């Protein structure tokens, strides 16, 4: 397939990069962490969004090489913000790599990053495709001190029991609920219920897709501790984050 071959080419020819999108505390609006988002600027196809190439990569061995590249790059770049956490997306196919946890631990150690500053994001739907293996990997990751977030929570085949079956640290409320908050009662009620549930379970909660002030105010009032979205930043290369990377290396 062209995209698959294109990704191998991209890996070899430096066409990939990571954008970091801020996650803020809803009270102070301090940036407390970043989500790492993979970007592909292809010489042949232009900017290809991950929503296009990740699903294709997941059907191919290239997902393993891609995941290796992302982890290596992100942990190297995250040295510039040791006091903030970094959240990395994974598809559970990437957990199939036998030394996944070991490799992540080794890279964290080599870069002097505390595992507690690294958060792994996975979707529920993806976990359900590989329940037993995913549970094993999540247990191992948490034993090493890494954090786990359930991404896009509330979409797909969601169930509150997943919060019990998969020991996670954080849930990320899908942006469709944030979008709907002002137009339908259901979305606001769901956000409110999820925030209460998270607080009751001692989980962190991040509301995604916050684009406007009124959404921010609303989410604060509903008890969301953390916010992410274009209102606070779209995501940019590390050089644009206002951090002095020259202090590194």
Contacts with Mn ion by CB under 5 A lie at 89, 121, 151
- Residue 35 near Na ion by CB under 5 A: no
Least distance from ligand G to the Cβ atom of residue 213, Å: 13
Determine the Cα–Cα distance for residues 193 and 189; give it in Å rounded to an integer: 6
- Residues lying near ligand G in the complex (CB under 6 A) are found at 21, 37-38, 49-51, 54, 70, 89-91, 151-152, 175, 208-211, 229-230
Among 15, 35, 152, 204, binds Na ion (CB under 5 A): 152
Least distance from ligand G to the Cβ atom of residue 236, Å: 11
Residue 159 CA, chain-centre distance (Å), reads 20
Going by their DSSP bridges, the two strands 170-173 and 118-123 should be labelled as: unpaired
Can you name the residues that pair with 191 across neighbouring β-strands?
A: none
What stretches of 111-245 show up as alpha helix (H) in DSSP? Answer: 124-128, 131-143, 162-165, 175-180, 185-201, 213-221
Q: Lay out the site mask for Na ion across 96-135 (x = CB under 5 A, - = otherwise).
A: ----------------------------------------
Q: Which stretch, 23-31, 56-64, 83-91, 200-208, contacts Na ion (CB under 5 A)?
A: 200-208
Q: Which is nearer to Na ion, 105 or 228 (CB)?
A: 228
Determine the Cα–Cα distance for residues 185 and 195; give it in Å rounded to an integer: 16
Q: Which residues contact 31 (CB under 8 A, 6 or more apart)?
A: 22, 23, 24, 84, 232
Binding interface with Na ion (CB under 5 A): 151-152, 208
């Amino acid at each position: 397939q062209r995209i698959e071959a294109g990704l191998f080419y991209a890996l070899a020819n430096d066409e990939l990069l990571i954008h970091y999108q801020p996650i803020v505390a809803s009270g102070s609006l301090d940036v407390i962490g970043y989500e790492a988002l993979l970007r592909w600027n292809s010489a042949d196809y232009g900017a290809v969004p991950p929503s296009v190439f990740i699903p294709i990569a997941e059907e191919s061995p290239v997902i393993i090489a891609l995941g290796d590249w992302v982890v290596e790059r992100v942990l190297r770049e995250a040295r510039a913000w040791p006091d903030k956490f970094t959240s990395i997306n994974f598809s559970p196919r990437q957990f199939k790599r036998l030394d996944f946890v070991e490799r992540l631990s080794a890279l964290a150690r080599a870069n002097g990053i505390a595992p507690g500053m690294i958060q792994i994001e996975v979707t529920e739907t993806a976990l359900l495709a590989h329940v037993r293996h995913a549970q094993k990997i999540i247990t191992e990751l948490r034993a090493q001190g890494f954090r786990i977030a359930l991404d896009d929570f509330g979409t797909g085949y969601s169930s509150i029991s997943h919060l019990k079956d998969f020991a996670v640290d954080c849930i990320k409320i899908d942006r469709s609920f944030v979008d709907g908050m002002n137009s339908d009662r259901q979305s606001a009620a769901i956000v409110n219920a999820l925030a209460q549930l998270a607080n009751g379970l001692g989980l962190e909660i991040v509301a995604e897709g916050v684009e406007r002030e009124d959404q921010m105010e609303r989410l604060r009032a509903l008890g969301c501790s953390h916010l992410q979205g274009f209102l606070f930043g779209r995501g940019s290369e590390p050089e644009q984050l206002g951090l002095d990377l020259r202090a590194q290396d």
